[in-house]
Amino acid sequence: MGVRLSRSLVAGVLVSVAMLASCAVSPSHLPGGFWSSDEATANAVIARVSDALASHDKPAMMALFSEAGRSQANDLGTQVDTLFDFVQGTVLSHQLDPNGGPDSREYNDGPMRWKELSIFFTITTDVGTYSFFMADRVVDDFHEYKVGVYTLRAMRIEDEEKYMIFSEAMRIPGIWCPPGA
């Protein structure tokens, strides 16, 4: 009985190790796969936001948003105008929050998957520094209309403690600037 139990235990451990090892070498873990660099993806969308802000390019800013974000936002065009008015000065730089790159929520069910990044970043102008939160659905095999930015939240860096709350509570459709912006 003891030999049979130990063989079962060894077989169970070997199967577990093989399953874990297969996860580490599956194609989804290779560059360009589902688990590819969240930081590179975040930096690319941050650069597009920064460029649209710098040039006040309303169509480019609106194009960043998913179909779901555009349709659920309360007048996204007006929200873009408010953002352009809120961020004062000439854009000098942008930076992913150095305190811990983007966070991700994801679901993978075989060939079907979705992944959303919660991205915190700053944009510095010649007038001041602004803090941003963005929810960006980077892939969604279930609902293609959800791919793109859903939320963009902007505030002055000195107002972070006041307006930067739990990311799920900040996840609202469209663009948010502080009241009175």
| Whether residues 123 and 170 fall in one domain | yes
| Whether residues 2 and 78 fall in one domain | no
Whether 165 is in a domain gets the answer yes
Which tokens go with 130? 């602004």
- Looking up residue 118, the CATH number of its domain turns out to be 3.10.450.50
Count structural domains, the chain: 2
pLDDT score at 164: 87
pLDDT score at 6: 53
Which tokens go with 127? 């007038």
pLDDT score at 165: 81
How many Cα neighbours within 13 Å face the side chain of 84? Answer: 18
- Please list the pLDDT of the chain residue by residue as tens digits (181 residues): 554 545 454 444 443 433 333 333 333 333 344 444 899 999 999 999 999 999 999 999 999 999 999 999 999 999 999 999 999 999 999 999 977 679 888 988 888 999 999 999 999 999 999 999 999 999 999 999 999 999 999 999 999 999 988 767 888 999 999 988 6
pLDDT score at 60: 98
Give the phi and the psi of residue 55 in degrees, each rounded to 5.
-100, 0
Distance CA 128, CA 106 (A): 34
Global model pTM greater than 0.85:
no
Whether 181 is in a domain gets the answer no
pLDDT score at 166: 73
| Whether residues 69 and 41 fall in one domain | yes
DSSP string, the chain: -HHHHHHHHHHHHHHHHHHHHHHHHSGGGSTTSTTS-HHHHHHHHHHHHHHHHHHT-HHHHHHTB-HHHHHHSS-HHHHHHHHHHHS-S-EEEEEE-TTS--EEEEEEETTEEEEEEEEEEEEEESS-EEEEEEEEEEEESS-GGG-EEEEEEEEEGGGHHHH---HHHH--SEEE--TT-
pLDDT score at 99: 78
| Whether residues 98 and 118 fall in one domain | yes
| Whether residues 115 and 167 fall in one domain | yes
| Whether residues 62 and 78 fall in one domain | yes
Whether 89 is in a domain gets the answer yes
| Whether residues 87 and 169 fall in one domain | yes
Whole domain around residue 130: which residue ranges? 36-176
Whether 154 is in a domain gets the answer yes
| Whether residues 42 and 21 fall in one domain | no
| Whether residues 69 and 99 fall in one domain | yes
| Pick from 59, 64, 63, 58: nearest CA to 83 | 58
| Whether residues 142 and 94 fall in one domain | yes
Whether 43 is in a domain gets the answer yes
| Whether residues 68 and 3 fall in one domain | no
